Amino acid sequence: MRPGRILVDEASIATRLVEMGDEITADYEGKDLLLVAVLKGAFMVVADLARRIRLPIDIDFMGVSSYGVATQTSGVVRILKDLEQEISGRHVLIVEDIIDSGLTLDYLRRNLEVRQPASLEIATLLLKTGIQRVPIEVKYVGFEIPPDFVVGYGLDLVGKMRNLPYVAVMEEE
Ligand code: IMP
Ligand code: MG
């Protein structure tokens, strides 16, 4: 397998993140906003999205693992790193790279809701259309994409290819 056709190029990602940043800026004006990025995949999108939000935001990280070494979700979510901050009474926006089955975010949302944030919403760069195994409400979506396995811009295949500046579909050699 190798990265093949580019699905979302660098310029399109940059343009869309400006739009999402504008929306988030308008929605959270005057509020105490904490971005919660889901590691590792969301490290790149959160770095770029945060720079497009014109508010004094705070950022924290949550490390989760939902895939082993394969490209299929197991449904089992492990927390590898928890938040360092209290979120009770704060406006929390989870930042994800991609939503596939939705199982990771469903687990994360329930885990964070217990801590009683003032609000809890989700922003994702990519949403695979129509294959979620649980209903999931996503407030900010960058791009809806077909349910193919993709890499780049934070997304990996067995740990590699996260550093590609674009999102590409994997293809056979
Ligand atoms: P879900 O729980 O099935 O929604 O998948 C969640 C996580 O699996 C995402 O945050 C990614 O880290 C990873 N993932 C899902 N689809 C892909 C893909 O196409 N390429 C790389 N990683 C993916
Ligand atoms: Mg992820």
Residue pLDDT, tens place only, 131-140 = 888 889 999 9
30 CA distance to ligand 1 middle (Å): 33
Ligand nearest 149 Cα, by number? 1
The yes-or-no answer on residue 100 being catalytic is yes
Provide the total of helices (H) and of strands (E) in the chain, helices listed first.
Answer: 3, 9
Q: Is the CB of 3 under 6 A from ligand 1?
A: no
Catalytic residue among 9, 22, 97, 100, which? 100
Give the residue among 104, 134, 102, 138 at the shortest CA–CA distance from 120: 138
Per-residue model confidence (pLDDT) at position 31: 97
List the single range of 14-28, 48-62, 72-86 with lowest mean pLDDT: 72-86
Q: Is residue 69 pLDDT above 80, yes or no?
A: no
Q: Per-residue pLDDT averaged across 7-17, rounded?
A: 98
Q: Which of 45, 72, 95, 104 to mutate to test the pocket of ligand 1 (most atoms within 8 A of CB)?
A: 104
Is the CB of residue 124 below 6 angstroms from any atom belonging to ligand 1?
no
User: What is the pLDDT at residue 30?
Assistant: 97
Q: Which position has the higher pLDDT, 69 or 9?
A: 9
Q: Which of the four pLDDT bands, split at 50, 70 and 90, describes residue 70?
A: low
Q: Which residues sit opposite 12 in a β-bridge?
A: none
- All domains of the chain, ordered by start, with CATH? 9-150 (3.40.50.2020)
